[in-house]
Amino acid sequence: MSVAKSLVKKSICSQSENNDIGCYMNPKKELQYFTEGVSRREVWSWAMFDFANSGYTTVVITAIFNAYFVAVVANNQDWGTFAWTASLAVSYILIILTAPALGAYADIYAMKKRLLLLTTIGCVLFTALLYFAGPGDLWLAILFIILTNFFFGSGENLIAAFLPELARSDALGKVSGWGWSLGYIGGLFTLGCSLAYVTWAQGEGQEADQFVPVTMLITALIFAIACIPTFLYLKERALPQLHQASDHIIKEAFARLGNTLKHVHHYQDLVRFLVCLIFYQAGIQAVIALAAIYAQQVMGFNTTDTILLVLLVNITAAMGAFFFGNLQDKLGHVPTIALTLIGWIIMILLAWMAESSAMFWLAANIAGLCLGASQSAARALVGLFSPSSRRAEFFGLWGLAVKLSSILGPITYGLVSWMSRGDHRLAMLITGSYFLIGFVILMRVDVQRGQEAALYDPEK
């Protein structure tokens, strides 16, 4: 470390005794993780949004409502799984159509935080309204799941765009990992509260159509409360950018996006990684959306077994995000992601072969370790490849890739299971091939070249 860098770090860290400047360091004070002016409390408030919204994905998408949708709302019809995946696909198409332009608008007008608030209100509201989706209420359930998942995905892109403002480039993996690990703890907390209620309700002799709707209210309430620190302490550091005055805000946002796409050849490693992301996230999204369905339809798990499984997976996912987040900045972004993809391939093979619940539990926990790591690492790498003036826009492109994969993976699984008359093992195996494709593409991503490309701004 140069003398100049040492003096800068000493100067920055001496500015605050009250956490005005975040300065997490190891005992030897060799590393400052946060950008200048960022406090520990602010990073915590940013990570609390991961804590808050993870309850939604855990309870609604992964553990409870998805299986309830197939078994109760769709009455266990052969098309039930496909109807669930198609509903999610529609919501992801809406995100794909809006995310890049929404990100461009957020960058132009410095509106990330305000838009985040609007998407949060939407997700909380429509999650609560899922309470009214009971047996036979297919179209009502489809409408509400499309809307709530659209608002969730849009907010996920916006909160991610704050990451490069909070963490130094050499600590993006670490700080992203903190957020993801806290997120899985949040999912664990929300699911634990739901499990406590479900256990009580079953003891009272209630059926799924009585206790599952209440878990939607629990999830919405925890989301609303846990995200309060984010809106109290997270700062909008971006400033409105110079642009042509226009009454057509949406048109302006799309024009800015079009300008970025015209210069996309400057960001070849970002594009290559986004294509890689589409494929390997297709496998991940299939596992997230269909794990509970697979557990019940193939392994014979009941609702309580499934919730316990997802609880344990959330613990291993938090461990994976934290461990690999710390490892990523040392080992490198591409090797870390490659390691997790190998883990995913092993997991798919174990789940496909599993005849006993023990082997399936092992596969599920390998998935947990890889889940937190692969998602956290991807967010950090996109942050590294994003120009400072276009972070929300580029994270909108990241969101576009993730949502496209969220269509590709679950729809592939749903179609295979439908066409094979309910062969979930075959569906799992075929969907798992996306991890192998992603691994091959990943090998052509050059991190240093991608980071250098992020210095180019098509507006300049």
Confidence of residue 265 (pLDDT cuts 50, 70, 90): low
Domains of the chain (ranges, CATH numbers) = 38-235 (1.20.1250.20), 260-459 (1.20.1250.20)
Per residue in 227-264, pLDDT (tens digit) is: 999 999 999 887 776 554 455 555 655 565 566 666 66
Indicate the DSSP class of residue 337: H
At a CB cut-off of 8 Å and minimum separation 6, what does 100 contact?
Answer: 257, 393, 396, 397, 400
d(CA 149, CA 90): 10
Indicate the DSSP class of residue 411: H
For 273-294, b/e burial (b = at least 16 CB within 10 A) is bbbbbbbbbbbbbbbbbbbbbb
- Give the up-direction half-sphere exposure of residue 14: CA atoms within 13 A in the CB hemisphere: 6
Confidence of residue 65 (pLDDT cuts 50, 70, 90): very high
- Write the DSSP string, 280-302: HHHHHHHHHHHHHHHHHHTS---
Cα 301 to its chain centre, rounded Å, is 26
The owner of tokens 């400057």 is 266
The pTM of the full predicted model, rounded to 2 decimals, is: 0.72
Closest CA to 152 of 285, 50, 53: 53
Q: Which amino acid would we find at residue 194?
A: S
Highest mean pLDDT: which range of 279-288, 343-352, 383-392, 403-412 = 343-352
Indicate the DSSP class of residue 34: B
Per residue in 160-192, pLDDT (tens digit) is: 888 888 888 777 778 887 887 888 889 889 999
Beta bridge mates, 34: 167
pLDDT at 77: 83
